Amino acid sequence: MEKGLFTGNEIVVKAAIQAGAQLMFGYPITPSTEILEAFAEETLYHPELHLIQTEDEISAGFGVIGAILGGKKAFTATAGPGTVLMQDPISMAEAMRLPFVGIITQRGGPSTGTVIYSQQEVTLTCFGGNTEGLRFVYSPSNLQEIYDLTIAAFNSAWKYRFPAFLLTDGYLGKTKGEVCFYQPKHLIKTKKILGDEKTIVHIRNTYSTEEELFAILRRNLSEYQRIAKKVSRYRVYRKRKEIDYLIFAHGSVASACLAACEAKTNLALFQPITLRPFPRQAAKFWAKKAKKLFIIESSAGQFARLVKEALSGLALEIIEYQKPALGITPKEILEWVR
């Protein structure tokens, strides 16, 4: 594999291609645009790759669905207001159990907000649209995780047939660094869903009765719950029997928390790598060992809601630090967590 310095957004493209993606559909929006551009550049060297720049994010998402139906791995990348529009195709992918893969590079909101950074698309990516949130959401905290988790998103989407997302942000997307590229040992094979010229398939998303839809939802929900433990991932820094202060953080903020933990030995970090499904049991297990819990995030409690739901039933002191749409430094964390 090639070596060199790459940005997070370029690494997404390298990983997507390694994971078998052949088509990308997209509409430019900061800070995801370099993913579109990097894929365009890759098409110059790989004739099997195709980029389709669509008229909007809705069309990009539905184009991904069409390509998946035709048996190809495909993906899109978007952010902010684009993630809002993307809920239309994502809810159809969730309903039809299609392996949709989306890269969400969070920017500040609400509305057009700012263009580089936030952690405010957690709820939208996990639970957006008129859905039950049967999705896989991976939140990388550094460049290596961007590579690893993009591949993981494609694999889990195609293996279990639920939409999967890499939830990153513009800070990570524009950070340049060195990453260990590798060819994944295990890739899930694709299959044509429509147009295989053998079996006749009818796919619908409209049902005549409430009971009909309920039966399908119940089956999908139970399958999601069954595989949740296999898909959910987390990382604990400073595993000890007794922890003074345990911080819950994800994505870029987890990276800052890690630096703070390295500077102070009484701090530990619980980083959920998947926000959906959330590593609930592990979160509870480690929370029980701590004297005090901290939840730190760049949104006004979107991440804290996930953590508190996972920890429900535990009588623990929880302190929340929130800076919606603003970055958080290790220095600030060291001041807060004491």
- In the complex, least distance from residue 115 CB atom to other proteins, rounded to whole angstroms: 24
CB-based contacts of 12, cutoff 8 Å, min separation 6: 35, 38, 77, 103, 146, 150, 166, 168, 173
CA separation for the pair 14, 181 (Å, rounded): 8
Q: Please confirm whether the linkage preceding 28 is cis (ω < 30° from 0).
A: no
**Beta carbon nearer to other proteins, 69 or 217:** 69
- In the complex, least distance from residue 212 CB atom to other proteins, rounded to whole angstroms: 13
**Beta carbon nearer to other proteins, 30 or 54:** 54
**Beta carbon nearer to other proteins, 144 or 190:** 190
* Pairing verdict, β 243-248 and 290-297: parallel
Closest to 49 measured CA to CA, from 25, 32, 79, 81: 25
How does DSSP classify residue 190? P
154 contacts 19 by C-beta, under 8 angstroms? yes
**Chain centre to alpha carbon of residue 84:** 15
- In the complex, least distance from residue 208 CB atom to other proteins, rounded to whole angstroms: 9
**Beta carbon nearer to other proteins, 91 or 139:** 91
Q: Which stretches of the chain bind other proteins, using CB under 8 A?
A: 22-23, 25, 50, 52, 54-56, 58-60, 62-72, 74, 88-89, 92, 192, 194-195, 197, 200-206
Instruction: Answer positive or negative: Cα dihedral of 313, 318, 324, 327.
Output: negative
- In the complex, least distance from residue 30 CB atom to other proteins, rounded to whole angstroms: 21
**Beta carbon nearer to other proteins, 62 or 270:** 62
- In the complex, least distance from residue 15 CB atom to other proteins, rounded to whole angstroms: 20
* Pairing verdict, β 318-322 and 290-297: parallel
**Beta carbon nearer to other proteins, 204 or 241:** 204
- In the complex, least distance from residue 192 CB atom to other proteins, rounded to whole angstroms: 7
Phi, psi of 267 (to 5 degrees): -105, 145
Closest to 89 measured CA to CA, from 170, 22, 26, 167: 26
